[in-house]
Structure 1
Amino acid sequence: MRKISPRRTGTRRSGARRLGVLAGVALLAVVSGCGTSGGGGSSPSANGGFTPPDVPMKQSLGSMEGQVNILAWPGYAEDGSNDPKVDWVTPFEKQTGCQANVKYFGTSDEAVKLMKTGQYDVVSASGDASLRLIAAGDVAPVNTDLVKNYADISPFLKDRDWNSVNGQMYGIPHGWGANLLMYNTDVVKPAPTSWGSVFTGASQYAGKVTAYDSPIYIADAALYLMKHQPGLKITNPYALDSDQLQAAVDLLKKQRQNVSEYWSDYLKEVQAFSTGDSVIGTTWEVIAQVAQGEKVPVKAVLPQEGSTGWSDTWMVSSKSQHSNCAYAWMDYITGPQAQADVAQYFGEAPANPKACDLTAKNFCDAYHASDAQYADKIWYWTTPISNCLDGRKDVQCTDYGDWTQAWTEVKG
């Protein structure tokens, strides 16, 4: 079993999605206002749900500025200081002459706040942050013609609701993964095939169900309801009107009665399954592999309803002082070798399938890196906004501020 980055503990997948209520409400104000008559008002669109501020796009590359300020999830920009054998930043610096000044962040809210300062040139944004950055005008449209490796990125990651608006890309896809259902094979029988085992059937494992600790987990409940309660007319788990949100909250409150703990630290979830405190719940592929490597009898599956998941995007600041080096970084980090290095160290599917020729045997198969049919079953994390992402125009959807308040209500 490969060594997992120690910085994952308490960060990123191990807590990076844990979002503060007050911060979330404040940061979403600009997004929830999109499409209204006030502020930078805009009209809804089929992709993105709003018209973003008029930020110019870079038209050509110039001379490298000598440095670039990178804001990244831990594990995305390793320079050897964490492990001398894990270093893909130094080769970038040697190739481009751009010194990489890397700052790590622990939550999407933190990343959004830091990008507002204008001190960072490029950021690895997740779907629960990217629309906020676009709506606020903090990131610029990306000229994909200036990023040669963009052509090799898996098509199913391009021009999606979380990384583009009206057909314009606002970043370069990086890595992705699904939120899976993990269960103890000695205890949970027969093998589960539906998310119903942690929702309507959760009482069967009372006190031993675990769930992800974040407002974005509301989408998991919405996805289940979308498949099993058609009367609610949910067509996108991130586009919920007030009644649909309440239905998801009601389902999560019932689940809460059977939850042992909400996890945000991946090592703690491994420990909970090791001790038997948890026997079933949401997980990531890398967590399942760590648990299996420690001889814990678990298996992770993609249930019949599909799942939620994440797809991260490198985005350039609209205030970047080193945009040439920023573009050089985006091109480098989405190249085959860097993608292979990051994916294996971090534990996710690379966006560039050419990386699979450089990874360990069966790595990309385990993460379904080139499996478009598998990827199509995933509803990637996308910031909920008041202009419904499902295209509805006769109703106002709930935004991320509503979701953070609802999550507080669920947890009690």
Structure 2
Amino acid sequence: MRVNPTLRAAAACMALLAAAACGSSDSTGSSGSPGAGGFHPPHLAARSTLGKPEGQVNLIAWAGYVEDGSDDPGADWVTDFEKRTGCDVHARTAATSDEMVSLMKTGDYDAVSASGDASLRLIASGDAAPVNTRLVPHYKDVFPGLKNRAWNSVEGVAYGIPHGRGANLLMYNTRKVRPAPDSWSAVFDDASRYKGRVTAYDSPIYIADAALYLSATEPGLHIKDPYALDQKQFDAAVGLLKKQNADIGEYWSDYLKEISAFKTGDSVVGTAWQVIANLAKSEGADVRAVLPKEGATGWSDTWMLSARAKHPTCAYKWFDWIISPKVNAEVAEYFGEAPSNARACDESADKNLCAVFHAADEPYWRKVHYWTTPIEQCLDGRTGVRCVPYAKWVQAWNEIKG
């Protein structure tokens, strides 16, 4: 994996996303938002055909997703796209999901690379339109595990094109943490063994990590989906995190600080991404990252079309381009994630890319619960009970941290 400033910036942006994951949406309880007591997206039709390219496309993206060579001469998958399609790319980098949602509401942008928290909001509000996957030829090569998922589809209707994915892993100091942990118990029930040197994700969405652990260790709670928690389940997860707080040395949102803490020994065990573990190792830290036996939370990004797109044909052409094997491999390698196109694994410059990020390991991904906006309508299919919406997660997180 190539380590470069843009990859570092991208990882930092993902940290910001985590800190604002699912953001301030739904706090108003306005009609049509996921937190309004139900998920009822407007009835919008996907395009059946494409017209003549409009000459440009306006994109909102995470840092490192739309590179034209200006940040790094070795990273440019925009120039060839423009030459081949006649669509000039105008991209705006966003730092958080909240920013992406706000920008999409302006109607000034054609498409966005939304993570699971933002994507549900955009679908529910009618700001994102369904997509006709038949108009995206390379969609057929997308890993099956990324198609028709809760964060990019509603009742079988696709609302976007999968871009890439990653898991939130358990990282530990191989010299200080023995035996090697294979469970999230290392940061929960056994956290006192490493008191003051446990690190955790600084985000309300981290409550889902506690819920996932409880789904395995407290079967009586009947937690099926870590993002669909009734009050009893939610209170149990919050209680576990309040107990953990006594052993936390630092809640991290800046990945550079996490790497530094593991290098100095101030942190010895906690949550991380594979790209962070790779960077930490490259800087001399004695660390390893694993997917615990209980599974993990994670993220998956989706290219979504604005319901008011002024340049829909160019947007569709971008969708197909960004998931084409060679380009998808370039983006995944540059950013530090698993590509969405199965054929990308044969096109990457680093032939270990897909092995390192488990790109083709579907049993691995079946253990990953991707970020999804918590809403009052329980996403696990339960009826007759309300689940705790994200606004309450934000309040609880502030209480957990004290």
TM-score bucket (shorter structure): over 0.9
Once the two structures are superposed, what CA deviation does each residue of 1:132-176 show, in whole Å capped at 9, x if it has no partner? 110000000010010001000000110111110001110001100
User: In structure 2, how many angstroms separate the alpha carbons of the residues matched to 1:66 and 1:11?
Assistant: 32
Tell me if structure 1 keeps the 8 A contact 2:12–2:255: no
Q: How does 1:182-221 map to 2 (within 5 A)?
A: 182-221=171-210
Once the two structures are superposed, what CA deviation does each residue of 1:45-82 show, in whole Å capped at 9, x if it has no partner? xxxxx331112211100000101100001111111111
Q: How does 1:4-153 map to 2 (within 5 A)?
A: 4-6=4-6, 8=9, 11-19=12-20, 23-26=24-27, 29=30, 30-35=33-38, 50-153=39-142
Once the two structures are superposed, what CA deviation does each residue of 1:197-221 show, in whole Å capped at 9, x if it has no partner? 1011111101111111111111100
Q: How does 1:160-309 map to 2 (within 5 A)?
A: 160-309=149-298
Consecutive unaligned residues of structure 1, counting only runs of 5 or more, are: 36-49
**Structure 2 residue identity aligned to 1:357:** D
User: In structure 2, how many angstroms separate the alpha carbons of the residues matched to 1:186 and 1:27?
Assistant: 48
> Which residue is 1:41 aligned to?
none
Measure how far apart 1:295 and its partner are: 1.7
Aligned with residue 398 of structure 1, among 385, 388, 401? 388
SS at match of 2:285: coil
Aligned with residue 330 of structure 1, among 307, 319, 324? 319
**CA 1:19–1:135: 2 relative to 1, 3 Å:** same
**CA 1:170–1:22: 2 relative to 1, 3 Å:** closer
Question: In the alignment, is residue 313 of structure 1 matched against residue 314 of structure 2?
Answer: no
Consecutive unaligned residues of structure 2, counting only runs of 5 or more, are: none
SS at match of 1:23: coil
SS at match of 2:2: coil
**Structure 1 residue identity aligned to 2:313:** N
> Which residue is 1:342 aligned to?
331
Question: In the alignment, is residue 386 of structure 1 matched against residue 376 of structure 2?
Answer: yes
CA RMSD of aligned residues (A): 1.5
User: In structure 2, how many angstroms separate the alpha carbons of the residues matched to 1:92 and 1:21?
Assistant: 32
> Which residue is 1:43 aligned to?
none
User: In structure 2, how many angstroms separate the alpha carbons of the residues matched to 1:118 and 1:86?
Assistant: 29
Tell me if structure 2 keeps the 8 A contact 1:140–1:170: yes
> Which residue is 1:364 aligned to?
354
**CA 1:10–1:284: 2 relative to 1, 3 Å:** closer
User: In structure 2, how many angstroms separate the alpha carbons of the residues matched to 1:270 and 1:337?
Assistant: 31
Matched residues, number: 398
- What's the TM-score once normalised by structure 1's chain length? 0.94
SS at match of 2:116: coil
User: In structure 1, how many angstroms separate the alpha carbons of the residues matched to 2:67 and 2:204?
Assistant: 29
Tell me if structure 2 keeps the 8 A contact 1:52–1:137: yes
> Which residue is 1:44 aligned to?
none
**CA 1:297–1:22: 2 relative to 1, 3 Å:** closer
**Divergent runs of 4+, >6 A:** none
Measure how far apart 1:16 and its partner are: 2.2
SS at match of 2:17: coil
Once the two structures are superposed, what CA deviation does each residue of 1:169-188 show, in whole Å capped at 9, x if it has no partner? 10001100111100000100
SS at match of 2:138: helix
User: In structure 2, how many angstroms separate the alpha carbons of the residues matched to 1:10 and 1:290?
Assistant: 10
Tell me if structure 2 keeps the 8 A contact 1:5–1:345: no
**CA 1:383–1:204: 2 relative to 1, 3 Å:** same
Measure how far apart 1:20 and its partner are: 8.2
Tell me if structure 1 keeps the 8 A contact 2:26–2:35: no
